[in-house]
Amino acid sequence: MANRNGVLVLAKDIVKKFPGVVALKNVTFDIRKGEIHGLLGQNGAGKSTLVKVIYGIHKPDSGKIYVKGKEVRFNGPSDARRHGIVLVNQEITVVPNLTVMENVFLLGKMWKEKVFRKIDYEELREKTYKIISALGIDIEPSTKVKDLRAAEKMIVQISAALTMDAEIILLDEPTSPLPPEEVEKLFSVMRQLRDKGLGIVFITHRVKEALEICDRITVLRNGVKLGTLEGDDMNENKLVQLMLGVNPNEFYKVRSEATIRRPLLTEKPLLEIKNLSTTPLSSTDIPLKNINLRVYPTEIHAVVGLVGAGKSELGKTLIGLQPVTSGEIIIKGKKVNIKSPVDALKYGIYYLPEDRKTEGLIPNLHVIGNKTISSLKYFTKLLLINSKKEYDVAMQLAKKLNIVMPSPYEKVIKLSGGNQQKVLIARGLLAKPEILILDEPTVGIDIGAKVEIRKAIYELAHKEKITILLLTSDPDEALGLADTISVMRNGEIVANFINENLSREEVIKAMTG
Ligand SMILES: Nc1ncnc2c1ncn2[C@@H]1O[C@H](COP(=O)(O)OP(=O)(O)OP(=O)(O)O)[C@@H](O)[C@H]1O
Ligand SMILES: [Mg+2]
């Protein structure tokens, strides 16, 4: 039973130091019965450290931990588990070649009871099935874990925790590897556990997710707890402000209106699209209808539209991946016929696709034809470097884009989302494009990294004189960054604005019709 206030765990005045950094500075945090308590903060804020202290992995330098009102001192995770606390994170891996039930057995309590006895598979299957189906999830216990989806693997870990009668489950960034459909699946399991009276800690750096599911949200920044919000206080503006320490309005604007570039009357566009229509190759792609667009040299031209408006189709058409049915693409006054990405590059156009995990990151370079573009090999790992020249070029770009990495030999997959995206932009820059098409460059990365990427994009246009065609579904991204904003809806351009005295409402109205 919880103590009177329903507090299952109280971590009080926790200080945790690592060499050179104080990861937690007097943090007090509690977990109540029947709640999902969000723990929000940017990279390095101290979120993982806090749950590791609660789980007995780290000993605090000072501070106390109480479980149901009684002080405890954990010498390791097994002590924490005995008190009903379980941590689920991406480092604790399930064994892919074993079945779901074997994993539940190995990770959970049954192992302890039965280690000297033979496993009764029928019993194990039944127990596992009962736990998983009670969560409203349908997974056959004899399935091998390697055949499961990412969310299901997480659910296997949670099920194992339930075999130990866990009352407190600490989830460290469970959603970061999940596609949106699976996030919902995991959320439904989390809600069920909450309704059963468990205390759940949910670590994330995605504000929207936290708002969707949490009853309370605690924000950490640089090891300091900035507050625990609940009720009406729990809104995006407040959370972003606490997380970043800046006013969200300032944060969205990476440039001032004074720097907006207005094309001169006599000026010729670098890229002009006239009455362009396409018939997509795949039925999931959106046909473009009579597109007209003028992109001027060194401007940041945003094409903003909801998901499915046809922005990526426009990008792909410009690099020859979608056939043009009618209309013209004109570059520097000359009509061009672009048949492939390599062709596009000859005209100075480089497209960075939206889905960097499957289309952008190595080794899947097919989209941009890596065989013919040898410069792309520079970034095959982060930098699989074999010559001094490659190293120098790579380091120069890393500096220009402010890529944060432990070493240039680090595998790109180990970098944060924001830095991965910068590596991809860097790779694009190696091809020396005049027009860089960026497709949703800040989707899925944490809010601080978004600012960084947007600043980098601004610098590319202003210092490097690269023309940017920014395809985005985020009106604030367009408003904070672009000179010109064209709005796309159902495969058509429905409005064009110069980004001066332009309101968010006007843009959103055009996007939604
Ligand atoms: N085992 C460790 N040894 C040394 N320093 C550490 C260790 N674990 C964490 N740190 C440092 O403590 C600080 C907090 O890190 P922590 O991993 O708790 O942050 P986080 O909020 O979980 O970040 P992320 O969103 O990147 O997971 C960071 O400066 C980190 O470098
Ligand atoms: Mg962490």
At a CB cut-off of 8 Å and minimum separation 6, what does 181 contact?
Answer: none
pLDDT over 90, % of the chain: 49
Per-chain mean pLDDT for the chain: 84
Exposure string of 101-126, with b = 16+ CB inside 10 Å and e = fewer, is bbbbbebbbbbeeeeeeeeeeeebbe
Pocket test for ligand 1, best of 18, 24, 53, 419 (most atoms within 8 A of CB): 18
18 lines ligand 1 (CB under 6 A): yes
Q: 221 is written with which tokens? A: 């920044």
Q: Which ligand is nearest to the CA of 172?
A: 2
Ligand 1 atom, smallest distance to 21 CA: 29
What is the 135 CA–ligand 2 centroid distance (Å)? 26
Q: Phi and psi for 339 in degrees, rounded to 5?
A: -110, -15
In a domain, 288, yes or no: no
Give percent above pLDDT 70 in the chain: 85
Give 408's pLDDT tier (boundaries 50, 70, 90): low
Average pLDDT over residues 22-27: 96
Given CA atoms 365, 367, 369, 375 in this order, what sign does their dihedral have?
negative
Side-chain half-sphere of 478: how many Cα atoms within 13 Å? Answer: 33
Question: What is the per-residue pLDDT for 212?
Answer: 94
Q: Strand 21-32 relative to strand 35-40: parallel, antiparallel, unpaired? A: unpaired
pLDDT band at 160 (very low <50, low <70, confident <90, very high): confident
Strongest mean pLDDT among 110-119, 153-162, 174-183, 214-223: 214-223
pLDDT(77) > 70: yes
15, 49, 55, 459 from 21: Cα distances, Å: 11, 12, 21, 32
The last residue of one of the domains, among 249, 279, 313, is 249
Q: Is the CB of 135 under 6 A from ligand 1?
A: no
Cα-to-centroid distance, 203 and ligand 1 (Å): 13
Pairwise CA distance, residues 417 & 405, whole Å:
12
pLDDT value at position 113?
A: 55
Note whether 85 and 216 are same-domain residues: yes
The pLDDT score that the predictor gives to residue 406 is 63
Same domain, 229 and 258: no
Reported residue count of the chain is: 513
- Rounded CA-CA distance 429/432 in Å is 5
pLDDT of residue 22: 92
Of the candidate ranges 58-67, 266-275, 349-358, 398-407, the one whose mean pLDDT is the lowest: 398-407
Our mutation pick for probing the ligand 1 site, out of 40, 42, 49, 415, counting the most ligand atoms within 8 A of Cβ, is 49
Q: Are residues 98 and 160 in the same domain?
A: yes
Residues 156, 39, single domain; the answer is yes
Query: How many structural domains is the chain composed of?
Result: 2
Q: Are 278 and 324 in contact (CB under 8 A)?
A: yes
Residue 375 lies in domain:
252-271+295-324+335-512
CB-count burial class (<10 Å; 0-12, 13-18, 19+) for 366: exposed
Q: pLDDT of 458-469, one tens digit each?
A: 989 998 899 999
Q: Pairing mode, if any, of strands 300-304 and 7-18?
A: unpaired
Which is higher by pLDDT, 409 or 277?
277
In a domain, 415, yes or no: yes
Residue 414 CB less than 6 A away from ligand 1 = no
Tell me, yes or no, whether 229 and 301 share the same domain: no
The owner of tokens 């000859």 is: 346
Domain co-membership, 11 together with 115: yes
| Final residue of a structural domain among 190, 217, 249 | 249
Q: Is the CB of 45 under 6 A from ligand 1?
A: yes
Measured from the CB, is residue 23 less than 6 Å from ligand 1?
A: yes
pLDDT band of residue 190 (cuts 50, 70, 90) is very high
- Around Cβ 409, how many Cβ atoms within 10 Å? 12
Residues 404 and 490 in one domain: yes
Cα first-last separation, the chain: 54
Residue 315 to residue 327: CA distance in whole angstroms: 15
Q: Which of ligand 1's atoms lies nearest the C-alpha of 41?
A: 21
Q: Measuring CA to CA, how many Å separate 424 from each of 4, 352, 370, 438?
A: 53, 8, 13, 10
Give 233 or 43, the one with higher predicted confidence: 233
pLDDT at 259 over 70: yes
238 and 313 inside one domain = no
Q: Which residue has the higher pLDDT, 502 or 237?
A: 502
Which tokens hold the place of 140?
A: 């056959």
Cβ atoms of 157 and 107 closer than 8 Å: yes
Report which ligand 1 atom has the smallest distance to the Cα of 50.
18
Same domain, 309 and 216: no
Please report the pLDDT score of residue 109 as a whole number. 63
Does residue 280 form part of some domain?
A: no
The verdict on the CB of residue 210 being under 6 Å from ligand 1 is no
pLDDT tens digits, residue range 50-69? 999 999 999 999 999 999 99
Q: What confidence category does residue 371 fall into, taking pLDDT thresholds of 50, 70 and 90?
A: very low
Structure tokens at 377: 């090999």
Atom index in ligand 1 nearest the CA of residue 49 equals: 18
- Tell me, what's the pLDDT at 413? 61
The DSSP-derived string for 135-190 is TT----TTSBGGGS-HHHHHHHHHHHHHHTT-SEEEEESTTTT--HHHHHHHHHHH
Cβ of 49 closer than 6 Å to ligand 1, yes or no, is yes
Q: Assess if residue 453 is contained within a domain.
A: yes
* Closest listed residue to residue 242, CA positions, set 221, 261, 258: 221
Looking at the fold, whether 352 and 498 belong to one and the same domain comes out as: yes
Residue whose Cα lies nearest atom 2 of ligand 1: it is 18
Radius of gyration of the CA atoms of the chain, in A: 26
Q: Which residues contact 208 (CB under 8 A, 6 or more apart)?
A: 236
**Under a CB-based contact definition with an 8 Å cutoff, are residues 9 and 64 in contact?**
no
Asked whether residue 330 is assigned to any structural domain, the reply reads no
- Residue 49 Cα to ligand 1 midpoint, Å, equals 6
Ligand 2 centroid, distance to 95 Cα (angstroms): 22
Higher pLDDT, 246 or 124: 124
What are the strands, taking DSSP E only, across 269-410?
271-278, 291-295, 300-304, 324-331, 334-336, 349-352
Averaged pLDDT, 275-286: 89
Please tell me if the CB atom of residue 218 comes closer than 6 angstroms to any atom of ligand 1: no
Between 140 and 253, whose confidence is greater? 140
Tokens representing residue 72 in the block: 């405890």
- Asked if residues 60 and 10 have their Cβ atoms less than 8 Å apart, the reply is no
Segment 282-322, tens digit of pLDDT:
888 899 999 999 999 999 999 999 888 999 999 999 999 99
* Least confident segment among 119-128, 388-397, 424-433: 388-397
**91 or 373: whose pLDDT is higher?**
91
Tell me if 21 CB under 6 Å of ligand 1: yes
CATH of the domain at 355: 3.40.50.300
- List the structure tokens of 45: 């804020």
Q: Is 369 inside any structural domain?
A: yes
Closest among 30, 37, 33, 36 to 13, alpha carbons compared: 30
pLDDT at 379: 41
What is the mean pLDDT of the segment spanning 422-444?
86
Q: How confident is the model at residue 447 (pLDDT cuts 50, 70, 90)?
A: confident
Examine residue 177 and state whether it is found in any structural domain, yes or no: yes
- Does 172 reside within a domain? yes
- Shared domain for 193 and 82, answered yes or no, is yes
**267 and 352 inside one domain:** yes
Q: Which of 24, 27, 47 to mutate to test the pocket of ligand 1 (most atoms within 8 A of CB)?
A: 47
What residue owns the CA closest to ligand 1's atom 18? Answer: 46
